[in-house]
Amino acid sequence: MQVTLHHHTPLVICSDAIRTCWQSFDKSDNGGEVDRALIDRVGNKFKHASTLEHITYNFYIAGISRALLQELARHRMASLSVKSTRYTLKELKEEPEFTLADKERAGNYLVYCDVEIVDEMSIKALENLRLVLASGISNDRAKYCLPESYKTELAWSINARSLQNFISLRSDKAALWEIRDLANMVYNTLPTEHQYLFENSLKEDHP
């Protein structure tokens, strides 16, 4: 799994939005310690969390399973643009046969869960999908054979308020292991000066 932060809103955008309410722009330090404290005080301590929606992040996430993608779709206050199976399954069509001995090569397409029988069945499902594609079935029909472990990638945009909720839920030990890894990676990818907004959302066993 790879997580890359492509864009983030400067903190001063959020602090200026907050200062609009009190017309206190003269107290701004352009996103420095004073503004950081203001954002924390208003957005977190005073629970005016809507102000945090002025901060947005855009990530590029690669190498996740479609099972994780389905979990991501439950976080409604976010935007996803996902690699299309309609146009990209041709990369699999050109592959030679996959056998259980081809675990490393199959790993280019699959996320393994380290349960031997599950990973073996994923490789078999991948080969079945390759055979369907090779028979000339269109991608739109063949993709119904996709295993949940099939890798995908996406652009993901989310505001700070929603990201707090995401990290709180998904860094918990009860979360799916793969999305738990993602939550921690997303936090670690954030700019250092933004991480303080999410420290209370992380669970204690954050690596």
- Catalytic, out of 66, 130, 170, 180: 170
What is the secondary structure of 1-25 as a DSSP string?
-EEEEEEE--HHHHHHHHHHHHT-G
Instruction: Say which residues have a Cβ less than 8 Å from residue 191's Cβ, sequence separation at least 6.
Output: 5, 8
What is the secondary structure of 26-58 as a DSSP string?
GG--SSSHHHHHHHIIIIIIS--GGGGGG-EEE
- Is 170 assigned a catalytic role? yes
Which residues are the active-site residues?
170
